[in-house]
């Protein structure tokens, strides 16, 4: 026991040193030398200066090809508006503008594709952490969450969330997204939801809007897939479908609007002088906390799996059936996170978008320290490095850095990730042993708790040096946290956390409660004990294998009494 | 019990929001927000969870 205490003290001391170094960073930065920028003298160009500029001869390229890329991508490729006038300055300026937006479109789309691939990671992590008899059911929840969420988001989710978010400079405007429902209360405007973009129809049939839709849609899908993990192994498939539709159509978009769609949370800075309003760079709160908190509400209603708890309330470990799935899934998620966070600049050119490298490095550092922290915590506490918790620690670090990734230093990222790794271990133990809410994959701890920690971390660690076009959420200057002098930013983040725990939880709970009354959330006990694959899906995931029945702590009496919502 | 829990969860948010109007100091608003967060957690993990724990299948 004493040696455990000593080990924990060493661990805490190490964390303390990291925090001290972090605090001292602004003091060390005072000595920086200032450099005088050399401004070149202006050059007065006219259209005449462009006459005579010719590209390579097309016949040469036709005859010889261009293996050295010396004749490809020249003035010949600049679009000319009027062939009679020839190349003009306006043509050049338009081409530059289009190039910038093209770069940003490609960047945002590719990042969106990476985030979409995270669905595969989630599917593998969740399926690996449950028993083989439920593998088809869990995989199919993760598979269909993509389509269900996409459909709901296309019908109305996107309009509610982003219908009033424009203009978006990095994506060429997205000007049609200009209708936000605003309620005036207590002398302040409160943006509540957007009203344009239903079915992507009308003026929202627009190239910028399409890019925005794809990127936002895959974020929403991440939220919906979090819930399937917490409710795995006992969730009725029909209830899952309805629950997911509501989350994708209403619950997620509402909070998304308040935070990202020019809603009231984002305007706390403008209306109440709280820093730059609620700031969530890539979605620790919007994506992960909303998912984690909805998972909490649903898991409470559904109840623990049969055999998870003994009659005295002590929990049983129910190991997953494939750790290789879990860790491979974690790797896929880590890879996808490079789309999640750096992609949230919505561009690689203009308005601070060159910080994509910084955001990417912050992301990988936090994942690294999160994985370390969880690994060491479990090693010290239980004597073995636990693989699934190491994976969850990695994800916890990534979740925690998602909101601050665009606003903090690499050192702060490492600290945020480390704390996230510890929090996920404590969270899993709390839900398992104290709250007795069964969460087969630890989603509430990974996404719920660490999402909230990430939101809070912005208010603490934002260093005030991340320049995204000179302002954020309509407030000039850069996002600055408490440790760098802006207590108001921390308050804005706390209001965001209160909204997640108060409003988002309540809506999610009521929605899932109604589903429980109308459809019933939980499968019957017989189905649960047999495994959900055959009764719910009609096929097992591994038909060629003989599955070993392992009923942890399940007696005949508990089988008979476990008849919730038969 | 569930309704009480819901009222606590939403009430916590209202407490946090009321701080925006009751005071202009960051410290005061932060305190209101923290109290609101605690009340919301009491509603969800306290009252609502307690209701479902009372009906838990492992207790039957």
The residues spanned by each domain of chain A are: 101-526
For A385-408, how does the pLDDT look when each residue is reduced to its tens digit (9 = 90+)? Answer: 999 999 999 999 999 999 999 999
**A154 pLDDT more than 80:** yes
Residue-range definition of the domain harbouring residue B17: 2-59
Nearest CA-CA distance, residue A472 and chain B, Å: 20
- In angstroms, the CA A131 to CA A538 distance is 17
For A228-250, how does the pLDDT look when each residue is reduced to its tens digit (9 = 90+)? Answer: 999 999 999 999 999 999 999 99
pLDDT the model gives residue B57? 80
**A493 pLDDT more than 60:** yes
Given A301, A491, A502, which is nearest B26 (Cβ)? Answer: A491
**Average pLDDT of chain A?**
90
Are the CB atoms for A121 and A330 separated by under 8 Å?
Answer: yes
pLDDT the model gives residue A472? 92
CB atoms within 10 A of CB A77: 9
Structure ipTM: 0.97
Structure tokens that stand for A138 in this block: 């869990």
Residue of chain A minimizing CA distance to B29:
A491
**A24 pLDDT more than 90:** no
E-only strand ranges, A447-517:
471-472, 475-476
Residue ranges of B 1-60 with Cβ closer than 8 A to chain A: 2, 6, 9-17, 20-21, 24, 26-27, 29-30, 33-34, 36-37, 40-41, 44-45, 48-49, 52-53, 55-60
Nearest CA-CA distance, residue A321 and chain B, Å: 23
Contact A505 B40 (CB under 8 A): yes
Are the CB atoms for A500 and A294 separated by under 8 Å?
Answer: no
pLDDT the model gives residue A40? 73
Contact A498 B37 (CB under 8 A): yes
pLDDT the model gives residue A557? 53
Tokens 């009321």 belong to residue: B18
Nearest CA-CA distance, residue A557 and chain B, Å: 9
pLDDT the model gives residue A39? 72
Contact A306 B37 (CB under 8 A): no
For A198-211, how does the pLDDT look when each residue is reduced to its tens digit (9 = 90+)? Answer: 999 999 999 999 99
Cα A267 to chain centroid distance, Å, stands at 21
Nearest CA-CA distance, residue A427 and chain B, Å: 13
Contact B9 A301 (CB under 8 A): no
pLDDT the model gives residue A549? 61
Nearest CA-CA distance, residue B52 and chain A, Å: 7
For A335-372, how does the pLDDT look when each residue is reduced to its tens digit (9 = 90+)? Answer: 999 999 999 999 999 877 899 999 999 999 999 999 99
Partners of B13 on chain A (C-beta within 8 Å) are: 498-499, 501-503
- In angstroms, the CA A473 to CA A267 distance is 7
- Residues A300-307, mean pLDDT to the nearest whole number: 94
Q: Has domain A101-526 been given CATH number 1.10.3430.10?
A: yes
**Residue B21 CA neighbour count, 13 Å, CB half:** 8
- Residues B7-13, mean pLDDT to the nearest whole number: 97
pLDDT the model gives residue A563? 47
pLDDT the model gives residue A31? 43
Contact A509 B57 (CB under 8 A): no
- In angstroms, the CA B46 to CA A267 distance is 32
Contact A561 B6 (CB under 8 A): no
Q: Is A538 helix (H, G, I), strand (E, B) or coil?
A: coil
Tell me whether strands A471-472 and A188-194 are parallel, antiparallel or unpaired.
Answer: unpaired
Partners of A506 on chain B (C-beta within 8 Å) are: 6, 9-10
- Phi, psi (5° rounding) for residue A109? -65, -45
Nearest CA-CA distance, residue A310 and chain B, Å: 6
Residue of chain A minimizing CA distance to B23:
A272
- Candidates A439, A324, A317; CA nearest to A387 is A324
pLDDT the model gives residue A32? 45
**A558 pLDDT more than 80:** no
- Phi, psi (5° rounding) for residue A32? -60, 140
For A27-70, how does the pLDDT look when each residue is reduced to its tens digit (9 = 90+)? Answer: 444 444 445 567 777 778 888 888 888 888 888 888 989 888 88
End-to-end CA distance of chain B: 20
The H or E element that residue A185 is part of is strand A180-185
How confident is residue A413, by pLDDT bands cut at 50, 70 and 90? very high
pLDDT the model gives residue A546? 74
Contact B10 A310 (CB under 8 A): no
pLDDT the model gives residue A123? 97
Tokens 């209101």 belong to residue: B32
Are the CB atoms for A112 and A339 separated by under 8 Å?
Answer: yes
Q: How many CB pairs under 8 A join A and B?
A: 106
- Residues A148-162, mean pLDDT to the nearest whole number: 97
């Amino acid at each position: 026991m004493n040696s455990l205490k000593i080990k924990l003290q060493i661990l805490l001391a190490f964390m303390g040193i990291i925090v001290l170094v972090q605090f001292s960073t602004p003091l060390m930065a005072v000595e920086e030398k200032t450099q005088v920028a050399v401004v070149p003298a202006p050059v007065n160009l006219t259209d005449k200066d462009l006459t005579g500029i010719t590209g390579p001869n097309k016949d040469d390229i036709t005859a010889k090809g261009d293996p050295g890329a010396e004749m490809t991508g020249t003035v010949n490729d600049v679009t000319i508006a009027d062939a009679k006038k020839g190349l003009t300055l306006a043509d050049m300026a338009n081409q530059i503008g289009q190039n910038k937006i093209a770069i940003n479109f490609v960047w945002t789309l590719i990042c969106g594709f990476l985030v979409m691939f995270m669905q595969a990671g989630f599917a593998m992590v969740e399926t690996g952490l449950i028993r083989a008899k439920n593998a088809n059911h869990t995989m199919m929840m993760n598979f269909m969450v993509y389509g269900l969420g996409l459909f709901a988001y296309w019908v109305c989710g996107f309009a509610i969330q982003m219908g009033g978010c424009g203009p978006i400079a990095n994506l060429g405007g997205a000007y049609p997204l200009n209708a936000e429902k605003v309620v005036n209360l207590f002398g302040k405007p409160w943006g509540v939801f957007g009203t344009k973009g239903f079915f992507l129809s009308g003026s929202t049939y627009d190239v910028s809007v399409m890019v925005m839709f794809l990127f936002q849609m895959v974020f929403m899908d991440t939220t919906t897939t979090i819930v399937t993990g917490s409710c795995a192994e006992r969730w009725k498939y029909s209830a899952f479908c309805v629950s997911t539709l509501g989350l994708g159509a209403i619950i997620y978009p509402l909070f998304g609007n308040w935070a990202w769609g020019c809603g009231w949370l984002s305007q706390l800075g403008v209306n109440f002088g709280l820093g730059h309003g609620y700031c969530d760079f890539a979605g620790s709160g919007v994506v992960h906390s909303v998912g984690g908190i909805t998972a909490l509400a649903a898991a409470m209603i559904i109840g623990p799996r049969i055999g998870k708890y003994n009659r005295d309330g002590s929990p049983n470990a129910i190991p997953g059936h494939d750790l290789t799935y879990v860790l491979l899934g974690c790797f896929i998620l880590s890879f996808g996170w490079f789309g999640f966070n750096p992609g949230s600049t919505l561009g690689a050119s203009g308005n601070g978008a060159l910080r994509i490298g910084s955001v990417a490095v912050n992301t990988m550092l936090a994942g690294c320290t999160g994985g370390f922290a969880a690994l060491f915590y479990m090693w010290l506490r239980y004597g073995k490095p636990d693989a699934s918790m190491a994976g969850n620690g990695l994800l916890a670090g990534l979740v925690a850095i998602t909101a601050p990734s665009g606003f903090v230093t690499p050192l702060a990222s490492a600290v945020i990730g480390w704390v996230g790794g510890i929090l996920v271990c404590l969270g899993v133990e709390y839900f398992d042993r104290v709250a007795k809410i069964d969460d087969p994959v630890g989603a509430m701890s990974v996404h719920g708790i660490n999402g909230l920690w990430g939101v809070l971390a912005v208010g603490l660690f934002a260093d005030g040096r991340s320049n995204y076009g000179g302002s954020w959420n309509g407030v000039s200057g850069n996002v600055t946290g408490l440790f760098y002098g802006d207590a108001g930013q921390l308050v804005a983040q706390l209001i965001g956390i209160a909204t997640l725990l108060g409003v988002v939880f309540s809506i999610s709970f009521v929605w899932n409660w109604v589903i429980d009354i109308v459809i019933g959330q939980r499968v019957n006990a017989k189905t649960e004990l047999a495994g959900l694959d055959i009764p719910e899906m009609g096929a097992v995931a591994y038909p060629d294998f003989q599955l070993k029945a392992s009923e942890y702590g399940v007696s005949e009496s508990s089988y008979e009494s476990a008849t919730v919502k038969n | 019990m569930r309704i009480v829990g819901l009222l606590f969860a939403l009430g916590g948010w209202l407490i946090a929001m009321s701080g925006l109007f009751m005071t202009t100091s960051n410290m005061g608003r932060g305190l209101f927000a923290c109290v609101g967060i605690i009340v919301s957690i009491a509603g969800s993990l306290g009252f609502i969870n307690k209701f479902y724990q009372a009906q838990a299948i492992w207790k039957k």
